[in-house]
Chain A
Amino acid sequence: MTKNTSPNNVDYRKEQNKEEMKKVLISFAMLLMFTIIAFAVVGTEAIEGSYVLILLFLMAFIQIMFQFFFFMHMKEKGHEEAQIIIYGAFWVTFLVMMGLGVITWW
């Protein structure tokens, strides 16, 4: 029997899905690493002052990027609308947090 190379063939699909899952596991490991770093920095008080806040924000941003692109499949084809919506949401979130933060703490 020759190997079926149709994109919908069950064996081919399972292989593809497995490959995808490997990427997810790697990104989960990295996500976990960033989470633990964030907690460790606060727990050990390794860094002083406002650098911690910047570092924590950066960590949070990296973590949500892993969630959106790998777990929620936003990097894949057919997610153009999703990307526009999420980038818009980032912008609104930035404006609202800056707006409320700056008028209170400047």
Chain B
Amino acid sequence: MSQDYSIDPKNLPEDPSRVTDEGKFKHLGVWMFIGGESVLFASLFGTYIALKDSTAGGPTTQDLYGLELVFLMTMLLLTSSLTSVYAIYHMKNNNFKKMQLWFGITGLLGLGFLACEIYEFAHYVVDYGFTFRSSAFGSAFYTLVGFHGGHVIFGLAWLITLMVRNAKRGLNTYNAAKYNSFSLYWHFIDVVWVFIFTVVYLMGMVS
């Protein structure tokens, strides 16, 4: 590395992830990516809303959904969003160990969420025979919720790679931007989940 990426422990930058040009571009790039992802999920939500009552005689939204599991999943993902804010807080305080710890907790909560989602899908398939091919509702449901779950899997893989790769490097202005990009992405996954539990689960149970 020709450039000096180190952080002076007595003279902290306001945001270590946006000290270098590369960091600034990454920040903007992630936001652009999030804008694009919004359009992707908007299309999937629109498709789901259009097809949710086309059950072809199979299970309906009211037959399938249960409030308890969705509430648990919501709490897991919401808390993981807060813990990643804590991680960024320690990043700004130049405390690498605590940052890794809080990102580790974030990853564990994400893993818990994923386990619940796998259980949920298995439950629908085994106990209700509700699959991707059951009905238009089935296709729309698994595409939308599965796409979100896929994003969680990708996010976890991203986080683990980052944490392992930088474990011995410590924090500098080079990898701070990488951690911050992940954190923004993770919050966005939570934003999508807020819409999923509202539009899919809660509205599916009242209508």
Query: Which B91-107 residues sit within 8 Å CB-CB of chain A?
Result: 92-94
Number of A-B contacts (CB under 8 A): 136
When the two chains form the complex, which single residue of A10, A21, A60 contacts B10, counting CB atoms closer than 8 Å? Answer: A10
How far, in whole Å, are A53 and B199 apart by their CA atoms in the complex? 9
Does A30 sit within 8 A of B, measured CB to CB? no
**A85 adjacent to B35 (CB under 8 Å):** yes
Q: With A93-B42, A100-B50 as known contacts, state yes or no: A42 contacts B202, CB within 8 Å.
A: yes
How far, in whole Å, are A8 and B13 apart by their CA atoms in the complex? 6
Residue of B nearest to A59 (CB): B198
Does B2 sit within 8 A of A, measured CB to CB? no
Neighbouring A residues of B86 by C-beta, 8 Å? 21
Q: With A13-B92, A81-B31 as known contacts, state yes or no: A96 contacts B187, CB within 8 Å.
A: no
A19 to chain B, nearest CB (A): 11
Neighbouring B residues of A92 by C-beta, 8 Å? 38-39, 42
How far, in whole Å, are A53 and B161 apart by their CA atoms in the complex? 40
A48 to chain B, nearest CB (A): 9
Neighbouring B residues of A6 by C-beta, 8 Å? 11
How far, in whole Å, are A45 and B62 apart by their CA atoms in the complex? 14
Residue of B nearest to A74 (CB): B31
Interface string of B10-21 (1 = CB under 8 A from A): 111110001000
How far, in whole Å, are A82 and B24 apart by their CA atoms in the complex? 12
Q: With A60-B194, A60-B195, A85-B31 as known contacts, state yes or no: A14 contacts B46, CB within 8 Å.
A: no
Q: What does DSSP make chain A's interface, helix, strand, loop or mixed?
A: helix
Residue of B nearest to A97 (CB): B46
| Segment at the A interface, from B74-82, B122-130, B141-149, B164-172 | B74-82
When the two chains form the complex, which single residue of B9, B49, B191, B206 contacts A64, counting CB atoms closer than 8 Å? Answer: B191
How far, in whole Å, are A43 and B171 apart by their CA atoms in the complex? 45
**B13 adjacent to A17 (CB under 8 Å):** no
**A56 adjacent to B202 (CB under 8 Å):** yes
How far, in whole Å, are A5 and B14 apart by their CA atoms in the complex? 14
Residue of A nearest to B184 (CB): A72
**A14 adjacent to B34 (CB under 8 Å):** no
Residue of A nearest to B30 (CB): A82
A75 to chain B, nearest CB (A): 14
Residue of A nearest to B86 (CB): A21
**B46 adjacent to A89 (CB under 8 Å):** no
B30 to chain A, nearest CB (A): 9
**B74 adjacent to A35 (CB under 8 Å):** yes
Sample 26 A-B pairs with CB under 8 A, ordered by A number. A8-B14, A10-B12, A13-B12, A13-B14, A16-B14, A31-B78, A32-B78, A38-B202, A43-B67, A53-B206, A53-B207, A59-B198, A60-B195, A64-B191, A67-B187, A71-B81, A81-B31, A85-B31, A86-B31, A89-B38, A89-B42, A93-B39, A100-B50, A101-B49, A104-B50, A104-B51
